[in-house]
Amino acid sequence: MDGLFYTLQTAQDTYFNVLVGILRYGAPVLAFILLLRCLKPLLTFRREPEIWAWLCLEDGTKLPITHWENVIGRSKRSDIVIDAPTVSRSHGVLTRYDDGSWTVTDSDSSNGVLVNGKKVKIWALDPKDVITIGGVNMRLEPISQKQEQKLAQLRTKGSSFFTSLLNLLILTVYQALCCLAYLMNGSQETAQSVLIGFAGIAVMEWLLLLFYVCIHRTSFEVETIAFFLCTMGMAAVAAVVPREAIKQLIAMALGVATFLLVGWSLRDLERAKKIRYLAGVAGVGFLLITLVFGKEYYGAKNWLEIGSFSLQPSELSKVCFVFMGASTMDRLMKKRNLILFIAYSVVLCGCLALMNDFGTALIFFCAFLVIAYLRSGSVGTVALAITALAFAGVVALRIAPHALRRFASWRHIWEMPLEGGYQQTRALMCMASGGLFGLGAGRGWMQYVFAADSDVVIATISEEWGLTIALFLIFAIIGLALFVVRAAAVGRSSFYTIGGCTAACIMLVQVMLNVLGTVDIVPLTGVTFPFLSNGGSSMICAWGLLAFIKATDTRQNASFAVRLHKTGGAVNE
């Protein structure tokens, strides 16, 4: 009997060796193909200008209006430039709504906006209304229903259903191989958990695609990238804490639910603007609750325990913060709103400082900088903010020895491999051991290092799957960020663009702190890698942020976060 077991074991060893031998090169190739297929349409889609209305001046010139939100002003960088000394630099905003109606808003201009001779703050426009801006009279002429239909037909289509299907098939094969490798090299007791973990992701992604088909959306690139990252996250879980695979799967399900919920709330801009206030309150609320009832782990008081369930509310606050930071153009042009937002940010960062959560505070701060810059365009404001942070940082370091210790080991990890540099030295050792193609599933030593599935997860992946895959994971996030920048040019509303940029910024900063912290380029701050790190709150947050990125997608039939357009052929909702 023993002999038989031994034979089986050795046979399995041989098969496993062969599988690892194949996967070392197979996994990067599959991942590369998958990422290329997903990122290429995201980064190269055609961005043709869409004309939504004409602005007719008295002298007969017709200015095309190419966005849903348009700044009228003297400044050369306005969407509609009227070069007259009586016109303010940013004078007013023309806004289009989902139903095709338009408003004009005064942006605290010196001479005001007049409609039919009357000074207005905001006015729902009729085609006959005469708008006077700095003494210049004009009339807005929206395009006809027919023209609008034509426009919708011309708009770049999202990827076809079959493209999405093929992408998902590739991903499923990848997941199956991953799962097989961990099953073969794992213990019997955890096999079930690992199997459910990987299979669960596959089921979830196919269900989501099915749901998309039902609502006539076909573009699935952003989601596929997220599921790819989740798969590698599951691999880290299988390597480090295979028992938690199901827990992580549940977190993913909650994440996808959050993604759909946030996406739904973003669909209707008016609804999103209302939810924004709710999100704002929730954002501060989460942090305050943590401050009062939170548990302190490893120096940071950022955990909330409800029964046997623990969560990091600061992660959820990130999504709320993106909501708060986003804003439509008409509001954006008013100083008061920026000041309110700054006050809000200060409260949030103050809470985080009290919680001693240095990493999250830094993420919020970077997000704040990006929002502040997007809103104001002022480099000076941002520089001022950075200076303020530097001062605050110095003061914080003086009084928080915990944070100081982290800085003490930075770039000196080899001098203190048993203290401050423990995780990083092991991470570098393991990454070097893994080389470009990894040692194989479950064959790493990183699993014995603290936080191998979260704070230093990139080393775990790198050791077992190779630096190539680790690099692809980083490129996946970078790809999402570049997509947001590209989509900004044809953005409908600044609400989406700011939201998308902030979400991408948060992801980028998290990746930066996580990866570069692990390899000792920056101090290790214990920040999670979006989708990859094990942890429910972080997973939910990542999916919530992804909804904002998805919402910037204006391609035809691409995003559920954008309403379908009443077109001849397309289905009406």
Interface ranges with another protein (CB under 8 A): 17, 21, 24, 67-71, 77-79, 329, 366, 370, 373-374, 377, 414, 417, 425-426, 428-440, 445, 463, 466-467, 471, 474, 478, 481-482, 484-485, 488-489, 491, 494, 497-498, 501, 504-505, 508-509, 511-512, 515-516, 519, 521-522
In the complex, least distance from residue 536 CB atom to another protein, rounded to whole angstroms: 25
Q: Which is nearer to another protein, 218 or 528 (CB)?
A: 528
CB of 482 to another protein, least distance (A): 7
Residue closer to another protein (CB basis): 169 or 489: 489
Indicate the residue among 208 and 369 with the shorter CB distance to another protein. Answer: 369
Max intra-chain CA distance, the chain: 98
**Separation in Å, CA 376 to CA 10, 88, 90, 322, 397:** 65, 16, 12, 16, 30
Give the angle subtended at the CA of 67 by the CAs of 61 and 73, to the nearest 5°. 60
Q: How far is the CB of 440 from another protein (least distance, A)?
A: 8
Single out the residue of 204, 200, 183, 181 nearest to residue 192, CA to CA.
183
What is the smallest separation between the CB atom of 501 and another protein, expressed in angstroms? 5
Concatenated DSSP letters of 471-539: HHHHHHHHHHHHHHHHHHTT-S-HHHHHHHHHHHHHHHHHHIIIIIHHTTSS-----PPTTTSS-HHHH
Cβ-based nearer residue to another protein, 253 or 367 = 367
* Least CB distance to another protein at residue 377 (A): 6
SS (H, E, C) 379-432: HHHHHHHHHHHHHHHHHHHHHCHHHHHHHHHCCCHHHCCCCCCHHHHHHHHHHH
Cβ 145 to another protein, closest distance in Å? Answer: 23
Closer residue to another protein, CB minimum distance, 253 or 322? 322
**Whole-number Å distance between alpha carbons of 68 and 15:** 59
Residue 172 contacts residue 134 (beta carbons within 8 Å): no
Minimum CB–partner distance for residue 114 and another protein (Å): 24
Q: Which is nearer to another protein, 100 or 299 (CB)?
A: 100
Q: How many CB atoms lie within 10 A of CB 571?
A: 10
Q: Which is nearer to another protein, 66 or 153 (CB)?
A: 66
Minimum CB separation of residue 571 from another protein in Å reads 28
Find the shortest distance in angstroms from Cβ 21 to another protein.
7
Q: Which residues contact 552 (CB under 8 A, 6 or more apart)?
A: 483, 484, 487, 488, 491, 496, 497, 499, 500, 559
Minimum Å gap between C-beta 489 and another protein is 5
What is the spatial distance between Cα 236 and Cα 438, in angstroms, rounded to a whole number? Answer: 13
| Least distance (Å) between residue 106 CB and another protein | 18
Cβ neighbours around 9 below 10 Å, total: 10
- Quick one: 246 or 488, whose CB is closer to another protein? 488
H-helix or E-strand spanning residue 157: none
- Measured from the CB atom, the residue of 433 and 567 that comes closer to another protein is 433
Whole-number minimum distance, CB 421 to another protein, in Å?
A: 10
Which residues 6+ apart lie within 8 Å of 339 measured at CB?
none
* Minimal distance, residue 94 CB to another protein, in Å: 10
32 vs 373 by CB, closer to another protein? 373
CA dihedral sign of residues 257, 258, 260, 261: positive
CA dihedral of residues 327, 332, 336, 342 (deg, nearest 10): 50
CB atoms within 10 A of CB 489: 11
Taking the complex as a whole, the smallest distance from the CB of residue 225 to another protein amounts, in Å, to 16
User: Reduced to 3 DSSP states, what percent helix, strand and coil does the chain have, rounded to the nearest 5?
Assistant: 60, 10, 25
> Over the range 295-324, which residues count as b (16 or more CB within 10 Å of their CB) and which as e?
eeeebbbbbbeeeeeebbbbbbbbbbbbbb
Query: Which is nearer to another protein, 37 or 89 (by Cβ)?
Result: 89
Nearest one of 451, 472, 439 to 533, comparing CA atoms:
451
Q: Rounded CA gap, 432 and 434, in Å?
A: 5
Reading the block at residue 399, the tokens are: 């009084």
Tracing tokens 């700044």 back to the chain, one arrives at: 71
**Which CB sits closer to another protein, 217 or 426?**
426
Closest to 301 (Cα-Cα) out of 312, 309, 310, 315: 312
**Which structure tokens are listed for 432?**
């070097």
CB atoms within 10 A of CB 510: 28
Given the complex with another protein, which of 171 and 515 has the nearer CB atom? 515
